[in-house]
Structure 1
Amino acid sequence: MTTPEFFPLRWESTGDHWWYASPIDCAAADGLFHVVVHLLSIDPNLLVKLTSLRRVRRLESVWDDDNSGRFLRAAQHRSLVARGLFSECESGSSGNSMLRAGYGGWLVYTAAAAGDLGFVQELLERDPLIVFGEGEYGVSDVLYGAARSRNSEVFRMILEQALSSGGCHRGEGMFRWEITNRAAHAAARGGNLEMVREIVSNGGVDVLKYRDSEGCTLIHSAAGKGQVEVHDNYYIS
């Protein structure tokens, strides 16, 4: 039996199990908000599946490898769905229930990955520390999402918010370097050459000083995600 092209399957790397894009994943990627809401009304646990970073990473690999053009606006559609869920969960003076439940990291990642500046700004105004993510999501993930969108304005907003938050409690210089280093690698992995150049040129240190937790350089980060433009040009100022 052949696999339908509109329902992409991937072989699970560990164990004899098929991994697949579930109906709620497909509905969100197509921007079908009311379908997503209906599915959640049937099984609220599907929200965990929709917001899983592990699944998002797999879906991104499917979208990036697809040449049909079907998923060109998947990130924007998912952001519209996320914004809709965010609005639906407003509960007056007690705040937003999605934020209270710990889904802020997914919301800001999804908005950033779509280059949705307005939604990112709204989330940061609600909770400036959301830039550091929640649950599975961390600041490196949020910055990577922003880099994937190629929207440098969104990337700068998130980076500036991160740099302005919490540094006095950890040592200003060390904190700023840690965030800047993470941002450089996120930009390289996400393929935002403009931000890689900007960070490196403003950093005042040798480009080889930018190393991730595994000791990899920016060129390794770019190569690992197939970012040929960054790989070939990141060091050119």
Structure 2
Amino acid sequence: MPPEYFPLRWESTGDQWWYASPIDWAAANGLYNIVRELLHLDTNLLIKLTSLRRIRRLETVWDDEAQFEDVARCRSKVAQRLLLESETKTGPNSLIRAGYGGWLLYTAASARDIHFVKKLLDRDPLLVFGEGEYGVTDMLYAASRSKNSEVFRLLFDFALFPCSIGGGDADKGEQGGGDGSSGFKSEMMNRAVHAAARGGNVEILRELLGECSNVLMYRDLQGSTLLHSASGRGQVEFNSA
């Protein structure tokens, strides 16, 4: 059941207040009919609903609180119904073709909805690399913060072996060889461990690091270590990983 109370505004910097919009509230409560009516009144609200910047803010206020644990699931249900309606009325995969596939996959991963994740990847395996403002690191982060290791492993496999997905040779990605393939895998591994650290998935982090003796080798574009990534998101569990 969705919670009975949602904070609709909070202070961000100084005297500035950041407000959650009605469509944010409706999606977080799983109220698809209200979301649909709002979109009929103003189709530009879809941009607001799918904005990664807004979702990240909402996650810190709603999704990360125990009493709002159903928010991600409700948002995913709304996303599924929007996708279904777009396919029914305007042709197959219209919402995906319109460039919202990244938002759909991020939403599904955040909600631990592995069936929805598989459905999206079956239609377009390259969605794991995101679209628009969403990237592969965002997908892995969403899976990590959901604490569902199965979803994370699925997305990571699709990201790590893009040449072997879609019914191709299962060993093709591993047999690619060469500096390019090695560099790509190293980059995906680096993104994955940082996503696991930021999302607080200690199980996945331990699995990825394995017997690694020098975790300082994993740094993001800003030069941050895994400890920086974890502490930046308040993931105290990382200290024991």
TM over 0.5, yes or no? yes
In the superposition, relative to structure 1, how do residues 99 and 170 fare at CA in structure 2: closer, same or farther (>3 Å)?
farther
In the superposition, relative to structure 1, how do residues 7 and 170 fare at CA in structure 2: closer, same or farther (>3 Å)?
farther
Q: How far 1:7 moved relative to its partner? A: 3.5
8 Å Cα contact 2:197-2:226 kept in structure 1? yes
Residue in 2 that maps onto 1:224? 232
- Please give the alpha-carbon distance, in whole angstroms, between the structure 1 residues aligned to 2:70 and 2:223: 34
Of 79, 88, 92, the residue aligned with 1:82 is 79
Secondary structure of the corresponding residue to residue 10 of structure 2: strand
Q: How far 1:8 moved relative to its partner? A: 2.8
Q: Which amino acid aligns with 2:226?
A: L
Q: Which amino acid aligns with 1:206?
A: N
Residue in 2 that maps onto 1:196? 205
- Please give the alpha-carbon distance, in whole angstroms, between the structure 1 residues aligned to 2:21 and 2:78: 16
Structure 1 gaps, min length 5: none
Residue in 2 that maps onto 1:185? 194
Q: How far 1:192 moved relative to its partner? A: 0.4
Residue in 1 that maps onto 2:240? 233
In the superposition, relative to structure 1, how do residues 170 and 39 fare at CA in structure 2: closer, same or farther (>3 Å)?
farther
Residue in 2 that maps onto 1:44? 43
Q: Which amino acid aligns with 2:114?
A: L
Residue in 2 that maps onto 1:109? 106
In the superposition, relative to structure 1, how do residues 101 and 233 fare at CA in structure 2: closer, same or farther (>3 Å)?
same
- Please give the alpha-carbon distance, in whole angstroms, between the structure 2 residues aligned to 1:163 and 1:65: 28
Q: Map residues 62-211 of structure 1 onto 2, 5 A cutoff.
A: 62-63=61-62, 66=65, 69=67, 71-90=68-87, 95-165=92-162, 171-201=180-210, 206-211=214-219
8 Å Cα contact 2:63-2:71 kept in structure 1? no
Moved more, 163-172 or 215-224: 163-172
Q: Which amino acid aligns with 1:218?
A: L
Identity %: 56
TM-score relative to the length of structure 2: 0.87
Structure 2 gaps, min length 5: 164-172
Q: Which amino acid aligns with 2:194?
A: H
